Homo-oligomer: A and B are copies of this chain.
Amino acid sequence: MVKIAIMGYGVVGSGVVEVMLKNKKSISHKAGEQIEISRILDIREFSDSPMAGRFTSNFEDIINDPEIKIVVETIGGLNPAYDFVRRCLLAGKSVVTSNKELVAAKGDELLALARDRNLNFLFEASVGGGIPILRPLDQCLAANEVFEIAGILNGTTNFILTKMIRDNISFADALNLAQRLGYAERDPLADIGGLDACRKICILASLAFGKHVYPEQVHTQGIQDITLEDVKYADIWGGVIKLIGRARKLEDGRLDCIVVPMILPHASRLAQVNDVFNGILVRGDAIGDVVFYGQGAGKLPTASAVVADIIDEVKHLGARKYLIWESGEPDYVADYLESKSAMMLRLKCDNSQAVKSKLDNMLGVCERVDIENSPSDELVLVTPLITQNRLDEVLKSLSDTSLISRIRIADF
């Protein structure tokens, strides 16, 4: 019998209890031990819960109970989760968390704490919800040089973009719908501004490339400025706009890591990932392209990933799972303005033919995207591979031209 505690009885925490109770028999069988949830930390009381009597609002009840070997952190946010998790590890308890903000900010430190004490710190649920991704990535890494990871990592923004693309609904209306359906928070900024996706690509990149990438190192742009016109031009060119988190190893050892809306050609494996679903592409030298797809959020999918980690920790009490990465470095992530990609440009200009000729000369031949009934002073082009620095420099030299939008085109 192994005793565990759960900190935070919100959506994920209560889902963990639900899954543990529902699949109790098969879970004990898998773990090789009975697992008892002996304490649940929450400020609220849940007297109707089957767990009533095990709730506490005092963290000390958990940290001071030597029988509790594993603590599950589903509070979310950096504080007090960081302090609690740290203290649990220092007290010799293994930890499972679903908290991407915590892992993206403090993963290196917490993994080192766990390693030094022969404990485990697992967080499968922090990326991709219920999609098994961190363990399979670890498996891919075992025999492959993984050189790129790209993913649709946030279900809320993917739902909004899918509505814009399929139903021709504006960003504002699609966001409103997402909120009514419960897919977006009342304060949706972490989702639509790209921060949630940023935290997840930080975790994936840290694991894949062995060195911590911190969210503040990653250029992060959300989908707030994507318009129906952008969507339409992308469609005419032959693609869809998706919010992509991408990390790619550069030849000099640094990382190209960004979160931006990108246009994915229809043939891309990630172009067909729609609605609230997530999809993650892993590219390795031996394995080629592998894609993982499923629900990236939601109570039960996320809870099932947490429970899989709990089982793994029960099986490895006193032994360590291999999972570690180094602390990061200030210059590890390259300047995104120097990262090359093809771009779709929407320009406002009077003489579009002349502007196109100039750009063709300066950038290499651009592909013109024509749309019926478009404004006569609008020019839409797809450039060859170029850095944003160089592009902005060239555009600045064209005095009679202003930039409406600039969206990267994915090469996966």
Q: Which residues of A contact B (CB under 8 A)?
A: 15, 19, 22-23, 26-27, 30, 32, 124, 130-132, 135-136, 139-145, 269, 272, 284-295, 298, 300-301, 303-308, 311-312, 315, 322
Kindly list chain B residues whose C-beta atoms are within 8 Å of the C-beta of A130. 286-288, 290
Kindly list chain B residues whose C-beta atoms are within 8 Å of the C-beta of A19. 143, 286
Give chain B nearest CB distance to A279 CB in angstroms.
9
Contact B132 A308 (CB under 8 A): no
Contact of A290 (CB < 8 Å), options: B293, B306, B311: B293
Report Cα–Cα, A22/B142, bound state, in Å.
12
Kindly list chain B residues whose C-beta atoms are within 8 Å of the C-beta of A307. 142-143, 286
Known: A30-B142, A269-B293. A304 touches B287 (CB 8 A): yes
Give chain B nearest CB distance to A323 CB in angstroms.
11
Number of copies: 2
Known: A132-B136, A136-B135, A292-B292. A142 touches B27 (CB 8 A): yes
Nearest chain-B residue to A294 (Cβ)? B290
Kindly list chain B residues whose C-beta atoms are within 8 Å of the C-beta of A304. 140, 143-144, 284, 286-287
Kindly list chain B residues whose C-beta atoms are within 8 Å of the C-beta of A284. 304
Contact B272 A143 (CB under 8 A): no
Report Cα–Cα, A324/B19, bound state, in Å.
23
Contact of A295 (CB < 8 Å), options: B22, B287, B298, B305: B287
Known: A130-B286, A290-B132. A145 touches B301 (CB 8 A): no
Contact A23 B135 (CB under 8 A): no
Report Cα–Cα, A293/B284, bound state, in Å.
14
Known: A288-B301, A290-B294, A304-B287. A23 touches B139 (CB 8 A): no
- 8 A-B pairs besides A132-B290, A287-B300, A315-B322 with CB distance below 8 A are A23-B286, A130-B290, A131-B290, A132-B136, A286-B301, A287-B294, A288-B294, A292-B292
Kindly list chain B residues whose C-beta atoms are within 8 Å of the C-beta of A135. 132, 135-136, 139
Give chain B nearest CB distance to A26 CB in angstroms.
7
Kindly list chain B residues whose C-beta atoms are within 8 Å of the C-beta of A285. 22-23, 300
Report Cα–Cα, A289/B290, bound state, in Å.
17
Question: Which residue among A15, A30, A135, A144 has the maximum number of chain B CB atoms within 10 Å of its CB?
Answer: A144
Nearest chain-B residue to A307 (Cβ)? B143
Report Cα–Cα, A291/B274, bound state, in Å.
13
Pairs of residues from A and B, 8 with the lowest C-beta to C-beta distance, nearest first = A143-B307, A290-B294, A286-B304, A132-B136, A286-B300, A291-B293, A143-B304, A130-B287
Nearest chain-B residue to A143 (Cβ)? B307
Kindly list chain B residues whose C-beta atoms are within 8 Å of the C-beta of A269. 272, 293
Contact A301 B287 (CB under 8 A): yes
Kindly list chain B residues whose C-beta atoms are within 8 Å of the C-beta of A15. 286
14 CB-based A-B contacts, threshold 8 Å: A30-B142, A130-B288, A131-B290, A140-B304, A143-B304, A143-B307, A143-B311, A269-B293, A286-B301, A287-B301, A288-B298, A290-B294, A291-B293, A293-B293
Report Cα–Cα, A290/B298, bound state, in Å.
14
Nearest chain-B residue to A299 (Cβ)? B286
Contact B294 A27 (CB under 8 A): no
Report Cα–Cα, A290/B15, bound state, in Å.
19
Contact A303 B286 (CB under 8 A): yes
Kindly list chain B residues whose C-beta atoms are within 8 Å of the C-beta of A294. 287-291
